[in-house]
Structure 1
């Protein structure tokens, strides 16, 4: 016979926590119930490397995706945009940084998205390169904590140098093309702080960054033990996102679904000319 005095257990709703790991990148955790409250529980680990892949197979995928990209309306839109907003003689760039690309070789659903993003990054660099007055080619760099050795070998075959954290943060300057497909706003902040003077900055959205920073600041205001460092990050992110919007043309890339079922939806920020309104 059941104990009528026993109270029914309340349903547990796990909370999503985004924390910064030791390597400086974000980590998503969820809480697990205990008798003393909730404790963080890492829900997922990185998937294994797809052992069927080689540098040659990744190169073939890259070529196939590049061909589809070159024939797409989205690429035509981007070419027209750059031709219209790039100054005569090109922007004063000497390097291109791709941050948070994702791993092209891990066994996960969005693996090919990394390949597509790499194709777009390299095509933009090639387009910008043709307009430069100087003969020196832009140096290409990529930084991603999930890169496997296969990823590094593949990128190096494309003359893309792989940086270890925090190499990109230390290397970025006003002469950098900055390409960040998707990254937590706190981790994107070091790049945003120089983005107001960067000629070409590709990101998710400065409006999204401002909204996320505002939400974080609101949570801190309701928490008397909130972090002073995070408070400063919120203020810096709000100021930096506003600076980018003030100094750049904002061009939202039209979404396009490619044959693999992946879509690229990013915002292109191009530095305004002195005679622009």
Structure 2
């Protein structure tokens, strides 16, 4: 079975690859979404209560659970956990899902925050059920309001202020960060985690302005050399270009100091 069909494989680097027109369209849409999300700031006048946020979240969560994306991802997690030398995960960190009550009132921002949070929660729950061990859930989002934090508490998350979560990463941690800036990845991956879910090396190497010495590419290349990978199934571009990196237990866990 080829990698496109869901097989876990050793990460390989691909050079000289052309980008198909459809993929270019996806990348353009992703850049538009990122531009919108990058302008998000804490809402100075929150309008939603924690109960109202939870009601919307439950609707999005139901969409996530019946999606083909989640069905495919469950199969991949089952295969990954069946590997005898896989990582032992004791904590999971969700980076920058976005505010649940955005200041600009954007439905895209709100749905993206809830869908990523639903995906994170279900992935952790799946790993817990397969390992039989409790996994601590942590979330870090600078755009959260106090109501957002209260809602996260209802989901069983510990909310930490930036950059607190970065120092919590070790070889038993799952790091979940969708479409983050490379500098954020550099800080989060100063110590390589057990599992990383985010934009992979291949995605960064497609960008014209990426140079080998950019912060964050060092950790990416270390995972590229040591980890297995699986392409995270997409869902309406919300997870486009996302990769699951799965550490092999016993491989050297190198620490890459973040750039100044």
TM-score (norm 1): 0.67
Q: Is the 8 A contact 1:94 1:176 kept in 2?
A: yes
Instruction: Flag structure 2 segments of 5+ consecutive residues without an equivalent.
Output: 1-34, 252-260
Q: 1:272 deviation in Å? A: 3.9
Report the structure number with the largest CA radius of gyration: 1
The 1:209/1:191 distance shift into structure 2, 3 A limit, reads farther
Partner of 2:227: 248
| Structure having the larger proportion of residues in strand | 1
The 1:50/1:66 distance shift into structure 2, 3 A limit, reads farther
Q: Is the 8 A contact 1:90 1:132 kept in 2?
A: no
The 1:217/1:131 distance shift into structure 2, 3 A limit, reads same
Q: Is the 8 A contact 1:96 1:138 kept in 2?
A: yes
1:129 and 2:105 equivalent? no
Structure-1 separation of matches of 2:139 and 2:190: 19
SS in 2 for 1:130: helix
More off after superposition, 86-95 vs 142-151: 86-95
Structure-1 separation of matches of 2:42 and 2:216: 32
Partner residue of 2:66 out of 68, 71, 74: 71
Structure-2 separation of matches of 1:157 and 1:237: 33
Partner of 2:202: 207
Partner of 2:100: 104
TM-score (norm 2): 0.71
Structure-1 separation of matches of 2:85 and 2:218: 31
Structure-1 separation of matches of 2:76 and 2:199: 17
Query: Which 4+ stretches in 1 moved above 6 angstroms?
Result: none
Q: Is the 8 A contact 1:55 1:153 kept in 2?
A: yes
The 1:211/1:239 distance shift into structure 2, 3 A limit, reads farther
Structure-2 separation of matches of 1:272 and 1:89: 5
Structure-2 separation of matches of 1:178 and 1:154: 21
Matches for 1:125-204 after TM superposition, within 5 Å: 125-134=124-133, 137-195=134-192, 198-204=193-199
1:111-162 Cα deviation digits (max 9, x unpaired) = 210000000000000000012254xx21111111111111101001111011
Q: Is the 8 A contact 1:210 1:237 kept in 2?
A: no
Query: Once superposed, what is the RMSD of the aligned Cα atoms?
Result: 2.8
